[in-house]
Structures are given as structure tokens and as C-alpha cells.
């Protein structure tokens, strides 16, 4: 009889755990980068660097930037992988934008799990002067992961016209 009671208790406990574990969503990706490519058109002879700014952050403005402390802006969108809306440690996320020159007149910008709706793109000369600037809307399409868990996205390529 005691063995039957133990088996019955175990069955009740396991049936109580089944809904908790059976419906849990498990997301394999713990982080990803979203990216957009900017191609220059026109007179690009004096372009030394391309910069992209969102309402929350800017990519570096030179090939060899000086280190600067980064602090969140008042408009930073809270995001975070811990499900609480903020990264571990609390406070709003700091959005960093990586930039890479991938061709003669082509630049790729990457965002850590961020997909801003708009950006300002600038072509800069060797001393940091603006040769061309345009505000653009970024239209994102997920290229990996799932609708429930998210995943990497890419935005439609942007073309920035540079005049002589």
C-alpha cells in the first residue's frame, strides 16, 4: 500500500509539471547582428569614411577613432535578452553600431540585436567634413531564426549620392 501511495504521489507531481515544461518555448540563439549596406554613388574621390547615425547612436566617424565612453541617450530603446526589457545590470541598452568598409564604395553597418527604423548616412572627407548626408528609412527582413525567437535581419541596401 505505501508503494502505491508513493506511485500515486509521483504521478500527481509529474502531471503538475507537464504543463510547465511541455509548453515552454526554447530559443537557441542568444544574440545576433542585424546589418545594412550603404553604397556610394557619384564623385567619391574625396570620401574617406562613411558614418551612420540612428536616433540613439552613431558609428565611428574615422577609420581610427579615439576611445570615448558611451552612455545611453534619453531616447534609447530598452532591449535586452533577460526578458525584463533591460540588459543584465539594469538601465537602458547602449546601442553600438559597427562599421566595415567592404568594397571601394560599399560599407556595412551592424547592430547588436537592434533594427532601427531610420538613420542618417554621411559621407565624410579625411578631416571629418560632410560631403553628403541623407536621412533614410530602414526596411528590415529577418533572414534567420524564427518569428517567436527573433533572429538576424538585413535592411534593404541604401545608396548615398555624393556630388562633386
pLDDT, tens digit, 9 for 90 and up, residues 26-36: 887 578 999 99
What pLDDT score was predicted for residue 7?
55
Q: Are 85 and 101 in contact, with CB atoms under 8 Å apart?
A: no
Percent above pLDDT 70 for the chain: 65
Contact call for residues 87 and 80 (beta carbons, < 8 A): yes
**How far is the C-alpha of 120 from the C-alpha of 58, rounded, in Å?**
9
Kindly tell me the burial class for residue 123, based on how many C-beta atoms sit within 10 Å of its own C-beta (0-12, 13-18, 19 or more).
buried
Pick from 46, 51, 12: nearest CA to 136: 51
Q: In this predicted structure, what is the pLDDT of residue 85?
A: 40
- 64-73, Cβ contacts within 8 angstroms, sequence gap of 24 or more: 70/94, 70/96
Residues whose CB is less than 8 angstroms from the CB of residue 28 and which lie 6 or more positions away in sequence, other chains included = 149
Beta strand 118-124 with 158-162 is unpaired
pTM of the model: 0.68
Name the 3-class secondary structure at 62.
coil
pLDDT along the chain (164 residues), means of 10: 55 50 66 95 96 94 66 44 41 73 95 93 95 97 89 96 92
What was the pLDDT predicted at 86?
40
Amino acid at each position: 500500500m505505501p508503494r502505491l501511495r508513493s506511485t500515486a504521489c509521483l504521478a500527481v507531481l509529474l502531471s503538475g509539471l507537464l504543463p510547465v515544461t511541455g509548453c515552454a518555448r526554447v530559443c537557441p540563439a542568444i544574440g545576433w547582428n542585424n546589418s545594412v549596406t550603404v553604397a556610394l554613388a557619384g564623385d567619391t574621390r574625396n570620401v574617406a569614411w562613411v558614418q551612420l547615425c540612428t536616433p540613439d547612436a552613431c558609428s565611428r566617424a574615422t577609420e581610427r577613432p579615439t576611445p570615448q565612453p558611451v552612455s545611453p541617450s534619453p531616447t534609447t530603446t530598452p532591449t535586452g535578452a533577460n526578458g525584463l526589457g533591460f540588459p543584465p545590470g539594469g538601465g537602458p541598452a547602449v546601442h553600438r553600431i559597427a562599421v566595415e568598409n567592404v568594397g571601394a564604395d560599399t560599407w556595412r553597418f551592424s547592430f547588436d540585436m537592434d533594427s532601427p527604423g531610420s538613420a542618417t548616412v554621411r559621407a565624410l572627407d579625411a578631416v571629418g567634413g560632410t560631403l553628403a548626408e541623407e536621412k533614410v528609412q530602414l526596411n528590415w527582413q529577418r533572414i534567420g531564426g524564427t518569428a517567436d525567437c527573433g533572429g538576424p535581419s538585413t535592411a534593404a541596401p541604401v545608396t548615398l549620392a555624393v556630388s562633386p
